Structure 1
Amino acid sequence: MAAKEQEKKTRASHLPEHGPIAENGKEVLLSVKNVDITFGKGEDAVKAVKNASFDIYKGETFSLVGESGSGKTTIGRAVIRVNPCAAGEIDYKGVKISGKIPHSLDREVIRNIQMVFQDPAASLNERATVDYIISEGLYNFHLFENEADRVKKVEEIIEEVGLLPEHLTRYPHEFSGGQRQRIGLARAMVMEPELVVADEPISALDVSIRAQVLNLLKKFQKEKQLTYLFIAHDLSIVRFISDRIGVIYKGTIVEVAEAEELFNFPLHPYTHSLISAIPIPDPQLEKNKVLYTYDPSIHDYSVDKPEFVNIGHDHYVYGNKKEIEEYKKLREKNEPLQPITIRKPGEKVEETAHEVHLSKAEDEFLKTPVHDTGSIWYTVLSFFLPIIGIIASEVYKHKQYYHNYKACKKGAIIGFIVIAVILAIFLLALLLVVIR
């Protein structure tokens, strides 16, 4: 039965009207299941996202938070089918949308899932007018009856985001950052999507403009029953706009819970560190705040392997069996945790140096000399002078210039292969001449 359901889901060429219903009675709009995302191949492969899993329910704002480089945007771009999944799958309304899918389904996914990008300047075509930028999706999907209908839709959406119809004839460089982000928002909303991936849409804006854009997002959600995947690194903002929050660390989702649940019971140490870093508006309190630093070496996963487990209250945490038991005990006490500690006036707290334990690969990377670039010129020179290339590669290896070593070795090996092929052809030709 399960195999038939999987086959039906994989072969679907159109999206159903509604998604599957979860145990809590909510409709699951988007489901990310055990997703790995890898960049590069072979030795240079980097796993940016590891075994990520979460559901987004229809009508909610699900926020994905973490520090820069943690894999938030990578997941967001995988949802809109820009980044391919190396493993796992992404389902939309119960239909698999990752990997190779029918053209008709691909068009429906593009139509139903839109993205608002982080950089409002880079995401807009500088050579196109605002009118064309907003209308491009309408043209591609024929979402208007005639020219008058198109103009009406564009003018309505530009006014809804707080701009004027006369702005439609202008170009993006004539607007401020906040206005450009409104244009990007109008471009997404004119498609009437069901899910919007908002990739840090306010991080490049002034503080006064951020509230306006957030209010716009909430307004559209209320009026159009939108669902958001909101990507951010600022937990202070995320708390007030999110229904649920997922915390991601170096490509691994470590905690998922409802917004207030997560802030009252931040069980994973990394979540604790993120909340403790939220600035306090009072300068004196901020000065006396004790900052908690996350040290990943506190986890021992050598034997007892970690899992992503629901500990109750729809609260998921990443940890091994011992850690999960501790998290459950903390949660069962039902006493809100205090991730932010304030020193009392006059109290002196010794600043402890946090010893950071690096992995072998990270340690080797930090030891790498500054000029170890692995430039392509090392490969080219070693190709034409393979003997010198081999000698150079051994010298670089001894000096721990690993990138230069690999570049020289690669060029030298290719050079020797080419020389061997040329010699073989020459000897074969010479043999044929002698035989004749």
Structure 2
Amino acid sequence: MFNKILIANRGEIALRVIRAAREMGIATVAVHSTADADAMHVRMADESVCIGPPASPQSYLSFPAIISACEITGAEAIHPGYGFLSENAQFVQIVEDHGLTFIGPTAEHIRVMGDKITAKDTMKALGVPCVPGSDGGVATLAEAQALGNEMGYPVIIKATAGGGGRGMKVAETAADMERAFMTARAEGKSNFGNDEVYIEKYLTTPRHIEIQVFGDGKGRAVHLGERDCSLQRRHQKVFEEAPGPAISAEERAAIGKVCADAVAKINYIGAGTIEFLYENGEFYFIEMNTRLQVEHPVTEAIFGVDLVREQIRVASGMDMSFQQDELEINGHSIEVRLNAEKLPDFTPSPGRITQYHAPGGLGVRMDSALYDGYSIPPYYDSLIGKLIVHGRDRAEALARLNRALGELIVDGVDTTIPLFHALLAEKAIHTGDYNIHWLEHWLEQHVE
């Protein structure tokens, strides 16, 4: 087991890793930019190292700065959290070349799954169901138009190296294809340095279902059920829950086994999430995230496991602490993402927190790095916390979420808390009758 690990991240996820490590008796090193000198993760870690100015490329994305921090402090391993360098294959290779351990999958697995076309081909070969689409990159508009006519509209054009909703454009009809194709290519080039795109059939009313998998790197893997992340705004998840309200036990077992078997075959190590669109009883693979997800706490709640602890265990060479037949779902869990954003435009709202009070009580978890007097810097993602609730069933979880939101106080900046108060008044939220387009349509009518 490691004696000391470095967390190459910030905010609530850095705190999450520190807490798991502390329970395991492992010392932690926090890295921070000058803008984060007073951040909670810096205060909570056993040691801290300033790695540069506020701009991420000069601090949290700087390979030399992070490797140097390991060498200075004697850290043996690096936990990347999510975002930043968590899915950067080049960084993982450099970590390994320096005799350090990356707490996550191999560089090769990140590389394969980071390219959407290669990932789709790999999953198809492993028996994972995929969305109908092009057999690779689409180089010309004429080829795109021919594929659109063949598959039938609507179709979606996606940047091969895209993510976070960038580089994705829908062509509702043949007349939309040129605009969508050129825009997706341009966004792929400007955001990811790669203008290659591919085309898939666009499903009209799907849900976003993701399967949590975990491998030990030795040919063994399990699945920990699914999460429903259908409530999204501009392809960004807002509200996540487990288990999914539309998934049966039989569907869960079947698709879960397919996913676990797939990652076992490639000797995958650590946490991963295989994401699907789900429509009319069918699952269609869209991508695999080779890291811990923002919404991992809902899975932890219903299975009673610590996914970060397991990441650290298998990275050190230990076996997983559970097997598939030991994983049983207990109740229902919901997470809402709280952002420092001003409604109705969702514009970032950095600033000083004048008062902060986290909700508590049975079945309530608040993952946040906020505290009274903390100044949210303007340089990073606007996520300021995640409110997670757990109940015996979905109705109890929703009631608990409503109660916890009523206790939560975040003063000094604008937040998205009012959005969730409004959503909990909607019948569709309580019945679970929604798809990935529902929230966008609701916002058009109520907020935007």
Q: More helix per residue: 1 or 2?
A: 1
TM-score, length-scaled by structure 2: 0.27
User: Greater CA radius of gyration, 1 or 2?
Assistant: 1
Q: More strand per residue: 1 or 2?
A: 2
TM-score, length-scaled by structure 1: 0.28
